[in-house]
Structure 1
Amino acid sequence: MTTSLPLKNKTVLVPRGKSQAKAFSDVVRKYGGTPVEIPLLAFRPTMVTTELKDIMKKLHTYDWIIFTSSETVASFLSYWTKGSPLPQKVAAIGEKTALALAEKGLQVDFIPTKYVAEEFVIEFSPLMKAGTKVLLPKGNLARDFIATELTKIGVRVEEMIVYETFFPEESKSKLAQMLQEKRLDIIPFTSPSTVDHFMEVVKDCGLDDRIHDCLFVCIGPVAQQRAESFGLTIHAVPSVYTVENMIKEAADYLIKASSL
């Protein structure tokens, strides 16, 4: 193993869907690893309901809109008529979320220094006052932490489900086969849902004894907490919660392990 290609001869699970897998795989190859693309999550816009239509008609009445992911941006904008009024200000959690908005010509007014809900609330709360109206588009499995915490300080938060998260059926058999044959060396988790879906296959197929030698890494503390709740040992978590930094942490871990 060389420090220039610390993931050489290592196969790395890429848990992203087709539209996002390439960028993830490119990072893996950058460090010498072999990416194996098996989406643990897929997204689809929700059905258009009367409630959703009503919210889209009154976007201009909100003081802020908070986007928590690029999936949220894409799903929300699929319902939005370009050029129609939006909330006065826009907040985004994460660089990629902000980039997704910028690519649509939308200005971002606030980004937290760390890309987790807990840090967002700490940094965002001073901008709020009692009665501030906030719209929070989200997925069906997203936590309600932001809405709960902002409501405590008098913010009027309205949540809207704009996409559904599901586990693609074709991924289940592929993942089970790869684990059964011990063909995955590094397992990155990008969210609690990826942990849940991975462990669903492990438990349903009786593969607990096939993952002992895997290196597990998480993009941030929320995914880490979920993984550890299943008894998994997490070997690396980056201080900046991006895929690039997560894979770099995995590479650094292997470099240190090889020197012992």
Structure 2
Amino acid sequence: MKKILLTRLIEDNCEDRLYFQKKGFETIEIPLLSLKIRKLEQTFETMLEKSEWIFLTSQHGAEFFFQQILTDRLQHTLESKKFAVIGEKTANILLKNNVEIDFLSPNPTKASLFKSWTACEFPPTTIFYPKSNLADNNGEAELVQTGQCLLTTILYDNFFSEKNRQRLKQYLLDEKIAAVYLASPSLWRRFLSVFIETGLKNIPDLYCLGDTTKQVIIEDGYEVRIKAKA
């Protein structure tokens, strides 16, 4: 049976695991990321209190946001806040925390959220956007140019553990992997760096999630297929 490597966190692989197993693959799971919340102390509370809107652009970002809320005992501050989010999984985190969603992006990308929210022409306000260390700044300047005040802070770190780097390298050398599934540009970069280290010549078939990751892989000179919807 052909093997496909899944590179997200184990708990995020359920749908992908079933999808590829139905396609005839044996799934191998080696997360190419680890996540860790930062100690923000007063920064988080200050930005939260100043803001009317909260932008959350990932499931894990939302989970860390509410974790920080509980740690700092700031639940009472959420009653007056409005929330803009992307994606069903991110939205579900808010619902689990009994928080209403005031704006849901039509497409599950940060760019779509910023563009569609701006198109609504909300009055000038203050927005708090907690994000990961890997998040880019695309769209932020344009938002500020419309008269909005944007407060950002690094809420959590996304990194590639040395343990899993070595696991991946050894697995690539010892086993025949037919394909790899990559859900973000950072996962692709991490996989590629280890693949190059092995000295192997034939890269596995590449599957990815979304046009952004696809474009990055193509720009690096590799062929890739977007995973079709189940």
TM value normalised by structure 2 = 0.88
Query: Aligned runs of 1:184-199 on 2, under 5 Å?
Result: 184-199=177-192
Alpha-carbon spacing, 1:149–1:12, altered in 2? closer, same or farther (3 Å): farther
3-state SS of paired residue (2:64):
helix
Distance, in Å, in 2 between the alignment partners of 1:101 and 1:186 is 34
Contact conserved, 2:172 with 2:198, CA < 8 A, in 1? Answer: no
Q: Does 1:165 align with 2:165?
A: no
- Structure 2 unaligned spans of 5+: none
Cα displacement (A) at 1:123: 1.5
4+ long deviations beyond 3 Å: 21-24
Query: Aligned runs of 1:66-145 on 2, under 5 Å?
Result: 66-80=55-69, 81=73, 83-86=75-78, 88-129=81-122, 131-145=124-138
Cα displacement (A) at 1:182: 5.0
- In structure 1, give the amino acid aligned to 2:173: Q
Cα displacement (A) at 1:204: 2.7
The number of residue pairs the alignment matches comes to 226
Give the equivalent residue in structure 2 for 1:154.
Answer: 147
Give the equivalent residue in structure 2 for 1:234.
Answer: 224
Cα displacement (A) at 1:180: 2.4
Cα displacement (A) at 1:139: 0.2
- In structure 2, give the amino acid aligned to 1:52: F
Give the equivalent residue in structure 2 for 1:176.
Answer: 169
3-state SS of paired residue (1:122):
helix
Q: Percent of aligned pairs with the same residue?
A: 25
Match of 1:38 among 9, 22, 30: 30
Distance, in Å, in 1 between the alignment partners of 2:126 and 2:227 is 35
Distance, in Å, in 2 between the alignment partners of 1:51 and 1:111 is 26
**More displaced, 96-105 or 14-23?**
14-23
Q: Describe the superposition over 1:4-44 as per-residue Cα deviations: whole angstroms up to 9, x where unpaired.
A: xxxxx332211122332344323333444221110011100
3-state SS of paired residue (2:104):
coil
**Structure with a larger share of its residues in strand:** 2
**More displaced, 108-117 or 124-133?**
124-133
Q: Describe the superposition over 1:103-158 as per-residue Cα deviations: whole angstroms up to 9, x where unpaired.
A: 12111122222212222233211234452211111001101113223112221111
TM value normalised by structure 1 = 0.79
- RMSD over equivalenced CA pairs, Å: 2.1
Alpha-carbon spacing, 1:117–1:189, altered in 2? closer, same or farther (3 Å): same
